[in-house]
Chains A and B, each alone.
Chain A
Amino acid sequence: MDGAFNRVVASITLRAAFGRKRALLFALPAVILILLTLILKEARPPGAPWPGRVLGDFGFSVVLSLTALIIGTSVLGAEIDEGSIVHLLATPVRRSSVIVTKFVIGAVLTMVFVAVPELIAGLIVSGGVSKLAIGLFVGALAGSVVYNAVFVMLSVLTTRAIAVGLLYVLVWEVVLGNFVGGAKLLSVQQYGLGVANSIAHYSALNAGLGLSTALIMGVIVTVVTLVLATRRLSEFSLKGDAV
């Protein structure tokens, strides 16, 4: 409990995360991904190019980003919205510890609900362990980490974290990321695909970044967003009864 990760904060976060109706949404995109994979595996002939579309495009731009958005904005944002965060902040717990713990819980939950289903879907496609399955799994792990740092930060910066996060995913990553090359440099989806492709070597994944760029940018974005989130949480204010 002395380190950056606080087990008490983690315990409350987990109980709160699974105590809300929003928790039902955690598994929904993953279930759709696996069902879609099973259906296509049966319906399409072997060697057809659909795995890149489903596991790469759909898996990373929809399943990973939306699941991370739901989880990343709820691990801290829901407490801020409800006001219960005051009970946590009215203790001497370091604000950096709160942010790191919330981020770790969000990232781990996203890994469970996205990276593991991506691995399962990859195994279904390949009929066993393959570079594609491992690549998708590791890429989704990396994406889970960076996305949660971004969405935890958004939930401290704004009360409309879900809307802002959705705009980032849809406008920046999906629209601009497809038409403006430079936008990929600030696309978490592309970091994940870059890592996945470095293992899978599967061109249909449409990875726009190489491994080194993806890793360097991923680390920078994660650190910067967590530092900003900590700074903002240190200045968390309660609205008074302004005259």
Chain B
Amino acid sequence: MSAIELRGVSRWYGNVVAVNDVTMTIGPGVTGLLGPNGAGKSTVLHLIAGFLAPSRGELTVGGVPSWRNPDIYRTVGLVPERDSVYAFLTGAEFVSTTAKLHRLADPAGATRRAIAIVDMADAQDRRISTYSKGMRQRIKVAAALVHDPQVLLLDEPFNGMDPRQRLHMMDLLTRLGAEGRTILLSSHILEEVEQLADTIQVIVSGRLAASGDFRAIRRLMTSRPHVFLVRSSDDRGLGSALIGRQAVTGVELTGGGLQVRACDFGAFSRELAGLARDKDIRLRELLPEDEDLESVFAYLLES
């Protein structure tokens, strides 16, 4: 039985559809829930975590519905995005309180183990209000892990972390995934997920745009047509030279310069400079027009 299953799940708010007919199965290991800001990742995560009712469809965690079912938290740990913890507690008190709420047999022992996992023993007796963003994230992970859950859900866990803290968190999540737990994390940063997740679920505009092995999806992303804006001393001359190249699928003269569509990003990058030199054209500016994640994800949605 898969840890998390969504079958035709939709969620809407009035006329706004936040999640549209999503079907996905998430098993053990690290899975990345990827998508641009506002795509519906958090909504999907909240649906899975039992903090939102599906408007339509079926959603189960460990075979049981998560909505209005607090018992799922015996096997699920949640690390919410919002940085709102009981700041007046120390790190150890926060984790220990969570352990007691789970009614663990040995809350003190479970607290020690969870704090050791996130490497926060040195700061455990300080109030959370004095923690950095990264430390808060780690203590939230410790609290989410204190009952040794099989499923761990993390909403944008790297937000606000410095590079060192990110590496530490990535190591931790990789380790937890390797132990056979189901780790699902949402992120809008491709590189974070790339280094961490075995499989990804790409959400764009509330729909599941791509799902499965990360490398295959990454290839799809890099082989898509790229659009550049080129400004030069002779846009028309450069355009006529570029259209004869295999790597280029289209050129258009616009008021702001020459818009070039390239099907092979690498070949286009290599050939452009040589071509300009041969034609004695001076390149003034080269801007990628669609490198933002939204357009990458939009391409996935179309393909």
Contacts and interface: CB of A to CB of B under 8 A. Distances in A.
B49 interface: yes
Interface residues of A, number: 31
Interface centre among B39, B51, B77, B205 (most CB of A within 10 A): B51
* Chain B contact surface mostly: mixed
Interface stretch (A89-97, A169-177, A187-195, A219-227): A89-97
Contact of A242 (B13, B68, B76): B13
Contacts of A84: 84-86
Nearest to B14: A242
Given A83-B80, A241-B18, A16 B86 contact: yes
Contacts of A86: 51, 78, 80, 82, 84
A89 B49 CA distance: 11
Contact of A12 (B40, B73, B86): B86
Interface stretch (A33-41, A157-165, A232-240): A232-240
A94 B74 CA distance: 12
Contact of A88 (B11, B74, B101): B101
B16 A90 contact: no
Given A16-B86, A19-B88, A94 B70 contact: yes
B138 interface: no
A9 B144 CA distance: 17
A235 B17 CA distance: 20
Contact of B37 (A94, A95, A241): A241
Interface in B39-91: 39-44, 46-47, 49, 51-53, 68, 70-71, 73-74, 76-78, 80, 82, 84-86, 88-89
Interface of A: 1, 6, 8-9, 11-12, 15-16, 19, 82-84, 86-95, 234-238, 240-243
Closest 8 CB pairs of A and B: A240-B43, A83-B84, A91-B101, A242-B18, A238-B51, A19-B88, A90-B78, A83-B82
30 contacts: A15-B88, A16-B86, A83-B84, A84-B86, A87-B80, A87-B98, A89-B70, A90-B49, A90-B73, A90-B80, A91-B73, A91-B101, A93-B70, A93-B101, A235-B53, A236-B51, A237-B46, A237-B51, A237-B52, A237-B53, A238-B49, A238-B80, A240-B11, A240-B42, A241-B18, A241-B41, A241-B43, A242-B18, A243-B16, A243-B18
